[in-house]
């Protein structure tokens, strides 16, 4: 997110009500720090409630592992085709698990009502978006931390950790940026669990292609390959900015 974007978004926040006197309300720096503080407060609230139950995390991680195992049977992996198939399997597992988690988080918000209550607070919608986004990135990140070592073992792939970290982080941000917006969109409908994957997969195609390509370039380096990590970062910026602006319209009322 850019600085100018953030200041424009936060101008509508009623800073006097939510920030202690003397901290927010004057100048871009105060507004930015107020923005960060509000985002962090919501993230902390979500994390606390998830840490109590651990429902979402355990289901997502288990599902990701299951996808890894099932694809292992489905493709009958051998040494010569592992490099071609394994990155795709890894990202399909991540995206599937993400959708499971995304559906759950927003559904939980709607069933128990905190999203509505959250929107009653004098907090900008963009704050809510970024808080939900960070929460989702953390949720998916935990799953990835569990899944990557197991992936490396059962697919017998020499995972270069240093190189994989930026790819996974950027890919996760891309998935979560679109996913957070679409989870809120699907929550507006009667059949949100049904609709979320249908809506989200076509839009995630660029992110998935770039992430898979970047990952396979780590396993088997390709000469004259497109700059996939850079592209992934560019897609992230595009999807993040569109989603941050669009979120406001989705959760209106």
Partner 1 sequence: MQVARETTGGVAPPAAASQTGARRVRTLIGATPGERAVTALGLVTGVCMLVTIWAILVAAPVDVVQGMPFRIFYFHVPVAWVTFLAFFIVFVASVAYLWRRDERWDWMARAAAEVGTIFTTVTLITGSLWGRTIWGTWWTWDPRLTTTLILWFIYVGYLMLRSYTGRTASGARTAAVLGIVGFVDVPIDYLSVTWWRSLHPPTTYVQSGLPASAAGTLMFSLFTFTLLFSLLLVLAYQLQRVQTGAEKLRGQAEG
Whose Cβ is closer to partner 1: residue 108's or residue 210's? Answer: 210
User: Which tokens in the block code for residue 150?
Assistant: 């197991």
Does the protein bind partner 1 through residue 92 (CB under 8 A)?
Answer: no
| Minimum separation from the CB atom of position 147 to partner 1 (A) | 24
Q: Could you tell me which stretch among 68-76, 124-132, 139-147, 187-195 binds partner 1 (CB under 8 A)?
A: 187-195
Does the protein bind partner 1 through residue 183 (CB under 8 A)?
Answer: no
Does the protein bind partner 1 through residue 80 (CB under 8 A)?
Answer: no
| Minimum separation from the CB atom of position 105 to partner 1 (A) | 18
Does the protein bind partner 1 through residue 220 (CB under 8 A)?
Answer: no
Does the protein bind partner 1 through residue 195 (CB under 8 A)?
Answer: yes
Which residues touch 218 (CB under 8 Å, ≥6 apart)? 159, 160, 163, 164, 167
Does the protein bind partner 1 through residue 242 (CB under 8 A)?
Answer: yes
Does the protein bind partner 1 through residue 55 (CB under 8 A)?
Answer: no
Does the protein bind partner 1 through residue 79 (CB under 8 A)?
Answer: no
Does the protein bind partner 1 through residue 191 (CB under 8 A)?
Answer: yes
Q: Could you tell me which stretch among 70-78, 154-162, 163-171, 180-188 binds partner 1 (CB under 8 A)?
A: 180-188
Which of 23, 29, 74, 226 is close enough to bind partner 1 by CB under 8 A? 226
Which residues touch 52 (CB under 8 Å, ≥6 apart)? none
Does the protein bind partner 1 through residue 84 (CB under 8 A)?
Answer: no
Does the protein bind partner 1 through residue 173 (CB under 8 A)?
Answer: no
Site residues (vs partner 1, CB under 8 A)? 178, 181, 185, 188-191, 195, 198-199, 201-203, 205-206, 209-210, 213, 222, 225-226, 228, 231, 235, 238, 242-243, 246, 249-250, 252-253
């Amino acid at each position: 997110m850019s600085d100018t974007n953030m200041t424009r978004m936060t101008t509508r926040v009623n800073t006097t009500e939510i920030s202690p006197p003397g901290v927010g309300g004057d100048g871009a720096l105060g507004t930015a720090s107020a923005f960060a503080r509000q985002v962090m407060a919501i993230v902390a609230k979500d994390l606390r409630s998830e840490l109590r139950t651990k429902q979402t995390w355990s289901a997502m991680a288990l599902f990701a592992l299951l996808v890894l195992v099932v694809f292992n049977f489905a493709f009958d992996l051998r040494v010569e085709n592992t490099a071609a198939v394994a990155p795709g399997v890894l990202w399909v597992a991540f995206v599937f698990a993400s959708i499971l988690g995304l559906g759950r988080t927003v559904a939980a918000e709607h069933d128990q009502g905190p999203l509505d209550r959250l929107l009653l607070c004098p907090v900008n919608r963009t704050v809510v978006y970024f808080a939900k986004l960070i929460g989702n990135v953390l949720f998916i990140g935990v799953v990835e931390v569990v899944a990557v070592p197991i992936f490396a073992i059962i697919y017998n792939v020499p995972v270069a950790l240093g190189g994989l970290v930026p790819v996974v982080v950027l890919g996760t941000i891309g998935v979560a940026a679109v996913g957070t917006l679409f989870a809120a969109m699907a929550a507006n409908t009667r059949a949100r669990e049904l609709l979320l994957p249908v809506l989200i997969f076509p839009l995630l195609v660029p992110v998935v292609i770039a992430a898979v390509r970047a990952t396979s370039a780590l396993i088997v380096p390709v000469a004259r390959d497109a700059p996939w990590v850079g592209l992934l970062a560019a897609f992230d910026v595009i999807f993040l900015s569109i989603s941050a602006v669009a979120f406001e319209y989705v959760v209106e009322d």
